[in-house]
């Protein structure tokens, strides 16, 4: 059982997790996307409306796709659901503390089956702040790091394994796109 799991050396899945209804169409690999992005990475989920109720399913699949050391950038406007998605991924990784927006603290760290850093750079104000904020301290090989509002420090975040773009859609849906840095990272999503 769990042959897919045995090939993973990274973040262990939930105890006893079968895929059940979660990611029910996962077997098809990059079935939700597959178009190569124009200039970056591999689009594993092309921009499409996702029901709020389905976001947790997507988050759980992302959680299974992550490895320690991964950097995940979260783009999209205020209230798009970036923090909500991090909360769902963290829960899938066994975090029991409530995940709260790090808008004011800039960074929060949680301990699940892997260390999770959750950064929000919205309040970093240009280069002066950027220089004093020790961003690299969070980008450690043992942790998964999520960064909301990465634009301010984009040039220090070019190694991101994942870029997730979220946007408002209807009250019950969000537009979500997920891009992996390369085919190797994309393959994790395909088997998650």
Ligand X SMILES: Nc1ncnc2c1ncn2[C@@H]1O[C@H](COP(=O)(O)OP(=O)(O)OP(=O)(O)O)[C@@H](O)[C@H]1O
**Binding region for ligand X (CB under 6 A):** 52, 55, 76, 78-84, 101, 103, 120, 148
Q: Which is nearer to ligand X, 118 or 188 (CB)?
A: 118
CA–CA separation, 172 and 192 (whole Å): 26
Minimum CB separation of residue 78 from ligand X in Å reads 4
Q: Which does 84 bind (CB under 5 to 8 A by kind): Mg ion, ligand X, none?
A: ligand X
115 near Mg ion, rule: CB under 5 A: no
Q: Which is nearer to ligand X, 66 or 176 (CB)?
A: 176
Write down the least CB distance from residue 151 to ligand X, Å: 12
**Neighbouring-strand partners of residue 164:** 74, 178
Q: Which is nearer to Mg ion, 115 or 122 (CB)?
A: 122
- Which residue, among 151, 101, 103, has the nearest Cα to 127 in the 3D structure? 151
CB of 112 to ligand X, least distance (A): 18
* Nearest distance in Å: CB 145, ligand X: 16
The C-alpha atoms of residue 7 and residue 42 are separated, in whole angstroms, by 22
The two tokens of residue 144 are 């998964």
Angle at 8 between CA 27 and CA 181, to 5 degrees: 75
Among 55, 59, 61, 83, binds Mg ion (CB under 5 A): 83
**Binding site partner of 78, from ligand X, Mg ion, none, Cβ cut-off 5-8 A by kind:** ligand X
Report phi then psi at 146, rounded to 5: -105, 135
Cβ neighbours for 152, distance < 8 A, ≥ 6 positions apart: 121, 124, 126, 129, 130
Applying CB under 5 A, the residues found at the interface with Mg ion are: 82-83, 101, 148
């Amino acid at each position: 059982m769990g042959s897919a799991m045995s090939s993973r050396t990274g973040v262990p899945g939930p105890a006893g997790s079968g895929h059940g209804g979660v990611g029910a169409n996962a077997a098809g690999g990059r079935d939700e996307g597959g178009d190569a992005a124009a200039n970056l990475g591999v689009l594993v989920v092309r921009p499409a409306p996702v029901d709020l109720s389905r976001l947790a399913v997507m988050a759980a699949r992302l959680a299974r796709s992550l490895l320690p050391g991964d950097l995940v950038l979260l783009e999209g406007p205020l209230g798009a659901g970036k923090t909500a998605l991090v909360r769902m991924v963290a829960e899938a990784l066994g975090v029991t503390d409530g995940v709260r927006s790090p808008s004011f603290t800039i960074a929060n760290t949680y301990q699940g089956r892997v260390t999770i850093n959750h950064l929000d750079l919205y309040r970093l104000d240009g280069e002066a702040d950027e220089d004093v904020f020790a961003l690299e301290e969070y980008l450690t090989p043992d942790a998964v790091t999520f960064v909301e509002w990465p634009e301010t420090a984009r040039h220090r975040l070019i190694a991101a394994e994942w870029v997730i773009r979220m946007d408002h859609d209807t009250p019950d849906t969000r537009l979500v796109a997920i891009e992996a840095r390369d085919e190797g990272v994309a393959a994790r999503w395909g088997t998650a």
